[in-house]
């Protein structure tokens, strides 16, 4: 895709995607990382994002949806600014993952896949996030919080609220 | 005559999935204790099917990529710890398989339990009920109980287009539709979204389909998940009779199975598909073939003869009165004005027998040389150039199996959908090399090894370049490489569109004929356009492209005909308007619309029209005779590749008659002994074993009848029997010495141009008169305009296009 073409993405991301599609023998091999980076920047995979990724690779938007809908970490609705992902897989479950999840639901007033009215938080119950040794664990955007107790939930939420207020 | 290889009787239409296997050595392996032999690498499921061992499968579909999604075809292979999928297991020397055992039955039963987990079991109302693969397998393996107690997920049925409906809960996720749409059709309009229990077939428009509406997805669906807008909830499979005939729309001549059912005024068509996947089209049908049949039920259909009364109004009357009137008027014109006073314009939608009879009726009864048809391909020049050469005319199967094809002009995806399908399939499965040269961008370039674009006058220049003129097409990039690659092909089929005619067609064919291994096919636009030309609906050529004067047996059969060249359609209309022709017989054509005849211009001529609908020409005729459509009669048609196929009467409409019967009755009304026209009852008495066809000996009588038919000896007991004319055609028309056994078994029989044609120089001096009509994917002129389903698709597609343009 030429530099002057219409793009939804920042110049940095556009350049990164341009490099990605050329990296593999088959252009569509770059599809999943492209979707992930686009989601990180835009927040979710809107129709426009899907169309642009399809155009960059040279496949149909239907092809992109076929792949994207397979993966639960790719989303088609905006999430909150801080996406709280609570693991309830076996290790976390045994060490109280559901209690953590329940506490988040109670404190945020939203359920699985919910977004708070102010758009600050969204909540997800997720499968294993690879932190079994430190269960129970959660992931907020790309940050991990582990060996949690229910009591720590408020502090975690407060931390992100102040981070938001601080403009970061 | 070229006979179809014997094996095609049994493997008709099945593409050879793995061409490479042909050159691989045979291996021997054991299946259920039986020693089988097949080329190494053949898929076990195919090897078993060929040996008569049925292995069940939902996702496996011959010719498409392998999916191994359904797990129904599992078999036990010796020394392999787990059950193996037969659809992905290539056979090798010494393997031992078991395809049915308690263990395998249990595995298949468990698969069925899973598939039925969300299945609604609404078989009593499902379109597929009675011909459903899931139903058959459940019946066989009996998954009557289930371990799964979860509530079934239900979703409402979705309408994806006027002709494609999707019922999610019935879907078993075999991916056949996805692969057919993508690999087979190169449309890629279907996908799979989500995963696991939420996985769902998804159309490219989100909630609707933006595609060619071919309905192939419906055809391959093993269950009732994809259903047809024209058939859904209309009938049950066992309520219909299935008649296999030829599609009436384009010149490809696909075999189509019409599902018919008794109706108040005859037999109605409720469904069209290619049920047994035989014939040149195998699996394939396009939107016109699959959904384009309801014109037979159109409210505009003529069902009573009309005769213009004293007040100048077309008035319904009886067949007897109408035929008598025509006979008297034609007789009077002949008596008063003599030979050559009546013009005849024939049809490209009627059968070969009807066209042969029409020219014979015109030449010997109406004693006229003014005969023509709506020419959409220059077959006269085509045959003139092929005169005397063997193996130079390409049948459809030749094209479908050729290692290299040069497609010049035309737009098969829109105008010849079967050709496009066969080219795509040939490229995909057999690695054929497709060369596309066109003045427009066409979809088949996606499959082309080489493609070339030039301006509209570039076709002749390309032929000059191929013939050695290095300066031609010098300004077109890639022309040199294109021609060099073509030059390296040892075996080539040249398929050309209506862009090639007269001198340009001659130049192209002279180039090809100068090289060994080049075959030709010439495209045209309607179902029997080639047949009309072959049957001599020309003012200057007899059937088989023989000259008017000569001493062939055909000339004897047409004794008494005028032997000077007649007027073509344009000249006939001018002459009829100017008083040069006193009568005009128009069969299944609309020359007034095609030639822009002004209203009332022919009021001094006696005009008779035979047609299904009140066309512009019919509206101004003196007598209109309502005819049976191609779906309501028997005979043969010839597609544009010269393949002759049987047309069988499927539907029936009260009030109409076949053109064949009308012509014979007309001749009778003119006082002609119809035996001179139709050679029926020629065997001096009845030789059929009549009466034995019922009762205990029925089987024997049937076999007897098959043998008689295959040898052209079955008795023709009626002057309305088109096969009496087929006999005469076979005897007298060059190239039509047909392979009757194949023809009657429902396969095509190819024609091969004969010798003794009009000289090519004479042909090139005449006006070719070709007017290509360029039918579309949903358009075949008269018939599609009166087909509700095709009109609905047309509107839907236009709305899609308008939306895309916004």
pLDDT in tens, B558-617: 999 999 999 999 999 999 999 999 999 999 999 999 999 998 999 999 999 999 999 999
> Are A104 and A50 contained in the same domain?
no
d(CA B790, CA B775): 13
Cα B373 from chain centroid (whole Å):
20
> Are A27 and A86 contained in the same domain?
no
Binning pLDDT at 50, 70 and 90, where does residue B295 land? very high
CB neighbours (10 Å) of residue A15? 12
Q: What was the pLDDT predicted at B682? A: 63
Q: Which residues pair with A138 in a beta bridge?
A: A86, A145
Number of domains present in the structure of chain A? 2
d(CA B131, CA B224): 9
Which of B192, B200, B209 should we substitute to test contact with A (largest number of A Cβ atoms within 10 Å)?
B192
CB neighbours (10 Å) of residue B634? 19
Q: What was the pLDDT predicted at B700? A: 56
Decide which of 3.10.20.740, 3.40.50.300, 1.10.10.10, 3.30.1280.10 is the CATH code for B15-100.
3.10.20.740
Which of B193, B203, B209, B446 should we substitute to test contact with A (largest number of A Cβ atoms within 10 Å)?
B193
Q: What order of strands is seen across the sheet that includes strand B241-246?
A: B241-246, B255-263, B266-273, B652-653
- CATH at A21: 1.10.10
B chain contacts of residue A74, beta-carbon cutoff 8 Å: none
> Are A86 and A124 contained in the same domain?
yes
**What average pLDDT does this structure show over A42-51?**
95
- CATH at A154: 3.40.30.10
**Token pair for B135:** 């139903």
Q: What is the 3-state secondary structure (H, E, C) of B608-629?
A: EEEECCCCHHHHCCCEEEEECC
ipTM (interface pTM): 0.85
Find the residue in A nearest to B204 (Cα).
A62
Selecting from A60, A62, A69 the residue whose C-beta is nearest the C-beta of B194 gives: A69
**What average pLDDT does this structure show over B643-663?**
96
Binning pLDDT at 50, 70 and 90, where does residue B708 land? confident
* More confidently predicted of B143 and A19: A19
Binning pLDDT at 50, 70 and 90, where does residue A166 land? confident
Fold of B380-522: Dimethylsulfoxide Reductase; domain 2 (3.40.228)
> Are A34 and A102 contained in the same domain?
no
pLDDT in tens, A94-104: 999 999 999 99
Domain boundaries, chain B: 15-100, 123-228, 380-522
Does A73 map to a domain?
A: no
Find the residue in A nearest to B197 (Cα).
A70
Quick check: B189 and A62 CB within 8 A? yes
The domain boundary, picked from A29, A46, A68, lies at: A68
A chain contacts of residue B188, beta-carbon cutoff 8 Å: 60, 62-63
Decide which of 3.40.50.300, 3.40.50.720, 3.30.70.20, 2.30.30.30 is the CATH code for B123-228.
3.30.70.20
> Are A54 and A116 contained in the same domain?
no
Does A142 touch chain B if contact means CB atoms closer than 8 Å?
no
Find the residue in A nearest to B199 (Cα).
A70
Where helices occur in chain A by DSSP H, the ranges are 11-23, 31-42, 47-57, 61-68, 90-94, 97-108, 152-165
Which of B191, B210, B217 should we substitute to test contact with A (largest number of A Cβ atoms within 10 Å)?
B191
Minimal C-alpha gap between A137 and chain B (Å): 26
Binning pLDDT at 50, 70 and 90, where does residue B740 land? confident
Contacts for B595-598 with beta carbons within 8 Å, 24 or more apart? B595/B569, B595/B570, B597/B573
Q: What was the pLDDT predicted at B701? A: 55
Residue with tokens 């008017």: B548
Q: What was the pLDDT predicted at A4? A: 47
Q: Strands (DSSP E) along B594-731, which ranges?
A: 606-611, 623-626, 635-638, 643-647, 652-653
Q: What was the pLDDT predicted at B715? A: 74
Query: Does a cis peptide bond (omega within 30 degrees of 0) precede residue A136?
Result: yes
Q: Is the pLDDT of residue B424 over 90?
A: yes
A chain contacts of residue B202, beta-carbon cutoff 8 Å: 62, 65-66
B chain contacts of residue A70, beta-carbon cutoff 8 Å: 193-195
Q: What was the pLDDT predicted at B691? A: 46
Does A51 touch chain B if contact means CB atoms closer than 8 Å?
no
**What average pLDDT does this structure show over B388-395?**
92
Q: Which residues pair with B611 in a beta bridge?
A: B626
B chain contacts of residue A60, beta-carbon cutoff 8 Å: 188, 204
pLDDT in tens, B765-796: 988 999 999 999 999 999 999 999 999 999 99
Cα B324 from chain centroid (whole Å):
36
Does A24 map to a domain?
A: yes
Selecting from B188, B189, B193 the residue whose C-beta is nearest the C-beta of A69 gives: B193
B chain contacts of residue A63, beta-carbon cutoff 8 Å: 188, 191
Q: What was the pLDDT predicted at B639? A: 97
How many residues in total does chain B contain?
806
Binning pLDDT at 50, 70 and 90, where does residue A17 land? very high
Find the residue in B nearest to A72 (Cα).
B194
> Are A30 and A64 contained in the same domain?
yes
Minimal C-alpha gap between A67 and chain B (Å): 7
> Are A88 and A56 contained in the same domain?
no
Q: Is the pLDDT of residue B307 over 50?
A: yes
Minimal C-alpha gap between B193 and chain A (Å): 5
Q: Which of B239-253, B409-423, B625-639, B748-762 has the lowest mean pLDDT?
A: B748-762
B437, containing H or E segment: strand B433-438
Binning pLDDT at 50, 70 and 90, where does residue A167 land? low
Per the prediction, chain B carries an average pLDDT of: 91
Q: What was the pLDDT predicted at B19? A: 44
Q: Which of B719, B720, B696, B715 is nearest to B705 (CA)?
A: B715
Which of A46, A69, A72, A74 should we substitute to test contact with B (largest number of B Cβ atoms within 10 Å)?
A69
Instruction: Check residue B364 and report its DSSP letter.
Output: I
Does A28 touch chain B if contact means CB atoms closer than 8 Å?
no
Quick check: B204 and A60 CB within 8 A? yes
Question: Directed axis angle between helix B458-466 and helix B479-487, to 10°?
Answer: 50
> Are A156 and A99 contained in the same domain?
yes
> CA geometry: angle at A77 spanning A76 and A80, to 5°?
130
Q: How many CB pairs under 8 A join A and B?
A: 25
**What average pLDDT does this structure show over B695-719?**
67
Residue B139's SS3 state is helix
Q: Which of B415, B423, B424 is nearest to B494 (CA)?
A: B423
Q: Which residues pair with B39 in a beta bridge?
A: B26
Does A60 touch chain B if contact means CB atoms closer than 8 Å?
yes
Selecting from A62, A69, A70 the residue whose C-beta is nearest the C-beta of B204 gives: A62
Question: Directed axis angle between helix B379-386 and helix B502-513, to 10°?
Answer: 30
Query: Does a cis peptide bond (omega within 30 degrees of 0) precede residue B352?
Result: no
Minimal C-alpha gap between A110 and chain B (Å): 24
Residues 6+ positions from B560 with CB-CB distance below 8 Å: B363, B364, B367
Cα B28 from chain centroid (whole Å):
40
Minimal C-alpha gap between A37 and chain B (Å): 20
Does A2 map to a domain?
A: no
Binning pLDDT at 50, 70 and 90, where does residue A68 land? very high
> Are A150 and A120 contained in the same domain?
yes
> Are A64 and A19 contained in the same domain?
yes
**What average pLDDT does this structure show over A137-145?**
95
The greatest distance separating any two alpha carbons of chain B, rounded to the nearest whole angstrom, comes to 92
> Are A102 and A51 contained in the same domain?
no
B chain contacts of residue A66, beta-carbon cutoff 8 Å: 191-193, 202
Binning pLDDT at 50, 70 and 90, where does residue B761 land? confident
Instruction: Check residue B69 and report its DSSP letter.
Output: -
Find the residue in A nearest to B187 (Cα).
A60
pLDDT in tens, B5-20: 333 333 333 444 444 4
Q: Is the pLDDT of residue A1 over 60?
A: no
> Are A64 and A39 contained in the same domain?
yes
Q: Which of B514, B511, B497 is nearest to B410 (CA)?
A: B497
d(CA B207, CA B166): 10
Quick check: A62 and B192 CB within 8 A? no
Containing structural domain, residue A42:
11-68
B interface toward A at CB cutoff 8 Å? Answer: 188-195, 202-204
CA distances from B248 to B219, B297, B349 (A): 19, 15, 7
Q: Is the pLDDT of residue B695 over 60?
A: no
Does A65 touch chain B if contact means CB atoms closer than 8 Å?
yes
Does A162 touch chain B if contact means CB atoms closer than 8 Å?
no
d(CA B232, CA B235): 8
Minimal C-alpha gap between B422 and chain A (Å): 24
pLDDT in tens, B174-212: 999 999 999 999 999 999 999 988 999 999 999 999 999
Q: What is the pTM of this model?
A: 0.91
Does A73 touch chain B if contact means CB atoms closer than 8 Å?
no
B chain contacts of residue A113, beta-carbon cutoff 8 Å: none
Minimal C-alpha gap between B155 and chain A (Å): 18
Quick check: A60 and B193 CB within 8 A? no
pLDDT in tens, B92-114: 999 999 999 999 999 999 999 99
CB neighbours (10 Å) of residue A132? 17
Q: What was the pLDDT predicted at B569? A: 96
**What average pLDDT does this structure show over A5-32?**
93
pLDDT in tens, B517-529: 999 999 999 999 9
Q: What was the pLDDT predicted at B5? A: 38
Find the residue in A nearest to B192 (Cα).
A66
Q: Is the pLDDT of residue B683 over 90?
A: no
d(CA B699, CA B691): 13
Question: What is the percentage of chain B residues whose pLDDT exceeds 90?
Answer: 83
Minimal C-alpha gap between B467 and chain A (Å): 38
Q: What was the pLDDT predicted at A19? A: 95
User: Residue B164: is it exposed, middle or buried by C-beta count within 10 angstroms (0-12/13-18/19+)?
Assistant: buried
d(CA B395, CA B280): 10
């Amino acid at each position: 895709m030429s530099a002057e073409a219409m793009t939804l993405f920042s110049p940095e991301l556009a350049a990164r995607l341009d490099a990605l599609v050329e990296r593999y023998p088959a252009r569509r091999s770059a599809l999943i990382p492209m979707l992930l980076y686009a989601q990180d920047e835009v927040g979710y995979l809107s129709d426009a994002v899907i169309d642009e990724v399809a155009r960059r690779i040279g496949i149909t938007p239907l092809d992109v949806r076929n792949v994207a809908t397979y993966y639960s970490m790719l989303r088609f609705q905006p999430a909150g600014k801080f996406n709280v992902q609570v693991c309830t897989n076996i290790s976390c479950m045994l060490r109280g993952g559901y209690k953590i999840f329940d506490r988040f639901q109670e404190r945020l007033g939203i359920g699985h896949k919910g977004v708070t009215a102010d758009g600050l938080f969204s909540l997800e119950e997720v499968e294993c996030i690879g932190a079994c040794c430190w269960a129970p664990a959660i992931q907020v955007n790309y940050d991990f919080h582990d060996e949690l107790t229910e009591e720590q939930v408020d502090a975690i939420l407060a931390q992100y609220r102040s981070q938001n207020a601080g403009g970061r | 005559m070229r006979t179809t290889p014997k094996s095609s009787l049994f493997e008709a239409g099945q593409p050879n999935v793995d061409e490479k296997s042909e050159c691989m050595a045979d291996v021997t392996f054991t299946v259920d204790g039986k020693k089988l032999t097949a080329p190494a690498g053949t898929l076990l499921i195919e090897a078993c099917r060929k040996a008569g061992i049925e292995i069940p499968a939902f996702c496996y579909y011959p010719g498409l990529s392998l999916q191994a999604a359904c797990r129904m075809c599992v078999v036990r292979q010796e020394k392999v710890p787990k059950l193996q999928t037969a659809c992905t297991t290539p056979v090798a020397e010494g393997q031992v398989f078991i395809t049915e055992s308690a263990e395998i039955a249990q595995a298949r039963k468990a698969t069925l339990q899973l598939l039925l987990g969300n299945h609604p079991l609404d078989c009593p109302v499902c379109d597929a009920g009675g011909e459903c693969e899931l139903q058959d397998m459940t019946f066989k393996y009996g998954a009557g109980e289930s371990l799964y107690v979860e509530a079934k997920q239900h979703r409402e049925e979705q309408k994806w287009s006027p002709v494609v409906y999707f019922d999610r809960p019935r879907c078993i996720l075999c991916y056949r539709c996805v692969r057919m749409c993508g690999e087979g059709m190169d449309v890629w309009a279907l996908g799979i979204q989500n995963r696991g229990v939420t996985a769902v077939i998804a159309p490219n428009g989100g909630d609707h389909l933006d595609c060619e509406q071919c309905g192939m997805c419906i055809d391959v669906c093993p269950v009732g998940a994809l259903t047809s807008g024209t058939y859904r909830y209309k009938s049950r499979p066992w309520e219909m009779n299935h008649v296999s005939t030829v599609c009436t729309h384009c010149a490809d001549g696909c075999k189509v199975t019409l599902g018919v059912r008794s109706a108040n005024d005859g037999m109605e068509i409720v469904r069209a598909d290619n049920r047994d996947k035989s014939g040149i089209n195998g699996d394939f049908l396009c939107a016109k073939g699959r959904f384009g049949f309801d014109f037979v039920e159109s409210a505009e259909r003529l069902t009573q003869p009309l005769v213009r009364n004293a007040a100048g109004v077309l008035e319904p009357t009886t067949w007897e009165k109408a035929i008598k009137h025509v006979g008297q008027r034609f007789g009077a014109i002949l008596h008063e004005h003599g030979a050559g006073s009546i013009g005849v314009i024939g049809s490209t939608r009627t059968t070969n027998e009807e066209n042969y009879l029409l020219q014979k009726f015109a030449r010997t009864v109406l004693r006229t040389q003014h005969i023509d048809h709506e020419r959409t391909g220059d077959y006269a020049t085509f045959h003139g150039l092929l005169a005397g050469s063997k193996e130079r005319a390409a049948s459809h199967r030749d094209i479908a199996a050729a290692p290299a094809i040069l497609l010049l002009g035309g737009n098969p995806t829109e105008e010849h959908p079967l050709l496009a399908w066969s080219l795509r399939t040939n490229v995909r499965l057999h690695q054929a090399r497709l060369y596309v040269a066109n003045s427009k961008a066409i979809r088949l370039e996606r499959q082309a090894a080489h493609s070339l674009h030039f301006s509209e006058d570039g076709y002749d220049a390309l032929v000059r370049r191929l013939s050695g003129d290095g300066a031609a097409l010098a300004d077109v990039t890639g022309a040199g490489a294109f021609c060099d690659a073509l030059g390296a092909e040892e075996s080539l089929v040249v398929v050309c569109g209506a862009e090639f005619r007269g001198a340009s067609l001659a130049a192209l064919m002279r180039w090809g004929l100068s090289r060994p291994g080049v075959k030709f096919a010439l495209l045209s636009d309607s179902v029997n356009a080639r047949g009309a030309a072959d049957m001599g609906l020309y003012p200057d050529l007899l059937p088989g492209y023989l000259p008017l004067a000569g001493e062939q047996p055909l000339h004897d059969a047409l004794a008494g005909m005028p032997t000077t060249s007649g007027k073509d359609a344009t000249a006939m209309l001018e002459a009829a308007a100017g008083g040069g022709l006193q009568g005009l017989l128009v069969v299944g054509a609309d020359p007034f619309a095609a030639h822009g005849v002004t209203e009332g211009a022919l009021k001094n001529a006696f005009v008779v029209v035979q047609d299904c609908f009140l066309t512009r020409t019919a509206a101004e005729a003196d007598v209109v005779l309502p005819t049976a459509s191609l779906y309501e009669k028997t005979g043969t048609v010839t597609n544009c590749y010269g393949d002759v196929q049987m047309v069988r009467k499927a539907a029936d409409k009260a009030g109409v008659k076949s053109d064949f019967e009308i012509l014979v009755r007309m001749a009778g009304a003119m006082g002609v002994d119809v035996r001179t026209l139709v050679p029926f009852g020629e065997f001096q008495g009845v030789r059929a074993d009549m009466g034995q066809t019922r009762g205990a000996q029925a089987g024997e009588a049937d076999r007897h009848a098959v043998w008689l038919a295959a040898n052209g000896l079955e008795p023709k007991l009626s002057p309305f029997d088109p096969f009496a004319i087929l006999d005469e055609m076979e005897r007298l028309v060059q190239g039509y010495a047909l392979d009757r056994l194949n023809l009657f078994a429902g396969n095509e029989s190819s024609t091969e141009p004969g010798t003794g044609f009009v000289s090519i120089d004479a042909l090139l001096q005449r006006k070719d008169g070709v007017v290509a009509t360029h039918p579309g994917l949903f358009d075949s002129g008269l018939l599609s305009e009166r087909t509700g389903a095709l009109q609905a698709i047309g509107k839907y597609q236009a709305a899609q296009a308008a939306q895309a343009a916004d």
